[in-house]
Amino acid sequence: MNFNEDPHRRLNILTGEWVKVSPHRTKRPWNGQVEKLPLDKLPKHDPLCYLCPGNSRAGGLTNPEYKGTYVFDNDFMAILPDTPAGSYDKGLLQAKSERGLCRVICFSPRHDLTLALMSREEVESVVELWIDQYDELGAMDFINHVQIFENRGAVMGCSNPHPHGQIWAEEAVPHLPALALAKQKEYLSKNISCMMCDYLEQERADGSRIVFENDGFTVLTPFWAVWPYEVMILPRRHMGSMLEMSGDEKSDLADAVRRIGIRYDNLFHTRFPYSMGIHQNPTDGADYPENHFHFHYYPPLLRSATVRKFMVGYELLAMAQRDITAEQAAETLRRLSDVHFSREDDESDE
């Protein structure tokens, strides 16, 4: 099988689902837009932004004059801590109540920054806050799962460019993390080893899907990637959550998060949109020796800053499909610079 020529299917070992790969389609004619978009010049502080320091939020509260990271309860939570217990069971029609809470994390007081434009030390402060929030929320008696994520860019549903992410903490372990846990547990019982440790060993030996590495983490395009430039960040040693990281590993994670953000922006010279999330141990007090924590990045852009992949038609009705292979995507990202395109002149002057 020639991965770069022949249509084929690839198995997602974390979900058990298959993705169709059609590499020959990259040869078809393309007459769409490919030009670069001008990069918006954002102010350091926007008086109309509800996330900037000192400004009023949509819910009527006022942000403090924070100088670093800042976290607060979402003014419009999707799940609520005081939801009464209840269930509905009418045969094929079933529902259960769900308790939880949502928070917003501001990565920086600067309105014009992103994780890619922050220093490694500044991103490390974000990593520390992720760890603190996972620990604090997970200790609540009714919280069994803490989902930390970032939606970046209007195309991913983010209405505010201020650098921020979200946390949804809830009673039940959501479907996708639960599915990945089940697959990892099944593998551990059969092989007496961690699935993602073994997977990472294979990827590092192959090398074709590795984007870059540092001492603590590997950034790669997963073999089963669906989105054009999808990546995962995996710790090099087995860990179930970020609570297990050493000081050096926290710094290495900040380095990985910053560098993949820079490479994404450099790809099409734009503020690259994506959804990013962290999968780590549930917080129900049980042991999860099978789980290997990791980051997922799902970016939609395909050929330029204005051309993106849509999950429609066949993808919605049959199965996920992609044209460029994981190997091609990784090679493209691997070739990109670790210097942000907007700061290349600054670097050359030093």
Tell me the catalytic residues. 164
The first and second tokens of residue 44, run together, are 């350091």
What phi, psi does 171 have (nearest 5°)?
A: -70, -50
Beta bridge partners of 105: 71, 165
34: how many CB neighbours lie within 10 A of its CB?
A: 12
What are the distances in angstroms from CA 326 to CA 11, 38, 60, 318?
A: 13, 29, 46, 21
Length of the chain: 350
92: how many CB neighbours lie within 10 A of its CB?
A: 5
The residue type of 275 is S
Pairing of strands 18-21, 320-322: parallel
State the greatest distance between any 2 C-alpha atoms of the chain, in Å, as a whole number.
70
Quote the CA–CA distance of 336 and 230 in Å, as a whole number. 15
What are the distances in angstroms from CA 123 to CA 100, 130, 153, 164, 322?
A: 27, 11, 19, 12, 32
Task: With CA atoms as reference, report the closest residue to 294 among 280, 274, 276.
Answer: 280
What phi, psi does 167 have (nearest 5°)?
A: -135, 130
Contact yes or no for 269/121 (Cβ under 8 A):
no
Query: What residues contact 177, with CB distance under 8 A and at least 6 apart?
Result: 145, 147, 279, 282
